Amino acid sequence: MVELIDMDRTMSTYEPGDHVKVEFTDAESGESEWMWLQVDSIDDEHRLVFGKLDTQPIVISELRVGQELAVSYDKIREHRRFNVQ
């Protein structure tokens, strides 16, 4: 008997150390800003990435570099994996 494996459910798209670009929107002004988040961990079941903000905010003053955040996969627009050797 052959068991079929759904690769989308068994392998994460993101890994610790990856960078993802996320859109953040200011609730009051409606202005948005794109910033990079360095991935620390992933919850594929709930489609969340946990990490630290890796961009200095300009528009959204409530955020700061190094701040720990949880971000929905739906907010991610770009993904980078840097090969460190």
Answer whether residue 58 shows pLDDT above 50: yes
Classify domain 13-80 by CATH architecture.
Answer: Roll (2.30)
User: What does pTM read for this prediction?
Assistant: 0.79
DSSP string, the chain: ------HHHHS-S--TT-EEEEEEE-TTT--EEEEEEEEEEEETTTTEEEEEE-S--SS-TT--TT-EEEEEGGGEEEEE-----
Answer whether residue 27 shows pLDDT above 90: no
Average pLDDT value for residue range 21-32: 91
Tell me the pLDDT of the chain averaged across its residues.
86
Answer whether residue 11 shows pLDDT above 70: no
Question: What percentage of the chain has pLDDT greater than the value 70?
Answer: 82
Residue 12: what pLDDT? 67
